[in-house]
Amino acid sequence: MMLKKIGLPILASLLLQSSQGQEILKVEGLNKNGAPVSTSKPALRVSYIRNNDSCFEKLTYNNNRKGRCRSLESFNDTNFQVRHGVFVSYTDQGWVNELGFYTTGMRSGIWYRRIGVFYYAVEKYVEGNATVLDSVYINPTSKSQSFTKEKIVDATYHGGNQAFNAYLKTKIRESAFFKNDESFSALTAFFVHHTGAIMAAIVWQSNNFEIDFFVRKILMNMPAWTPAKDALTGLHRSVLYFQRISLYTE
């Protein structure tokens, strides 16, 4: 049997999707124009999910060989009508194209919109209206970013990086990927709120539904972190924390 190595870890499969309070309610096929179809090979596959924090998600994926994510939408109702929570759209190559949050059907707060390789326009939404603030370089190889000019003391997992890696390693060893000797690598991101809570977890570059779903599940079920803070004022800050998670064999 080949030796397995864990490099900032993770992921599993459909076998684990109903555990940890995440349940797939239904899956439907759509054509390329977004209309429901009953064919065996629809252009898009849409999964409707109930999460353990009582929110709901709609995940739309290409139903082809690459099968990358098209959009992640959050809702606060069982009918999936009122967007509430994180929203992410992706480019054809699977990179985050737009990222932000909805509050009861309206865009709110800071949104990031891709305008170049790793460059994003920053917009602030108030009652659905946008004000352009700036543009930022988002480097997904950096561990955490606050997108402010203040010097930030990073958010930390309780017990430090060693404990964080141990958590990821434990989860990946429980996965079907590890058990089936499969390899993968995923670039993920998650918000550490100024309270330390994990607000939302996303994949920064989509691979496919099985990988993306399990990566996000592991991140969303993490315990609270010690929040980031402004080095000068000591005030806690929300940050977007990036993590490369991979399992490979040699």
Amino acid occupying residue 94: G
Residue 59: which of 184, 201, 189 has the closest Cα?
Answer: 201
Residue 206: which of 225, 223, 187 has the closest Cα?
Answer: 187
161: Cβ contacts below 8 Å, ≥ 6 apart: none
Q: Which two tokens stand for residue 100?
A: 């932000």
Helix (H, G, I), strand (E, B) or coil at 64: coil
The model's confidence at residue 53, banded by pLDDT at 50, 70 and 90, is low
Rounded CA-CA distance 11/34 in Å is: 29
Place of tokens 């349940």: 23
Q: Which two tokens stand for residue 215?
A: 């990566």
Q: How many helices (H) and strands (E) does the chain have?
A: 3, 18
CA 40 to chain centre: 28
pLDDT at 250 over 80: no
Q: How many beta carbons lie within 10 A of that of residue 69, not counting itself? A: 23
Residue 72: which of 52, 53, 94, 54 has the closest Cα?
Answer: 94
Q: For 129-177, what is each residue's pLDDT tens digit?
A: 888 888 888 888 777 776 655 688 889 999 998 999 999 989 988 888 8
179: Cβ contacts below 8 Å, ≥ 6 apart: none
Q: Are 190 and 219 in contact (CB under 8 A)?
A: yes
pTM of the entire structure?
0.83
pLDDT at 105 over 50: yes
pLDDT at 97 over 90: yes
pLDDT at 5 over 80: no
DSSP tag of 177: H
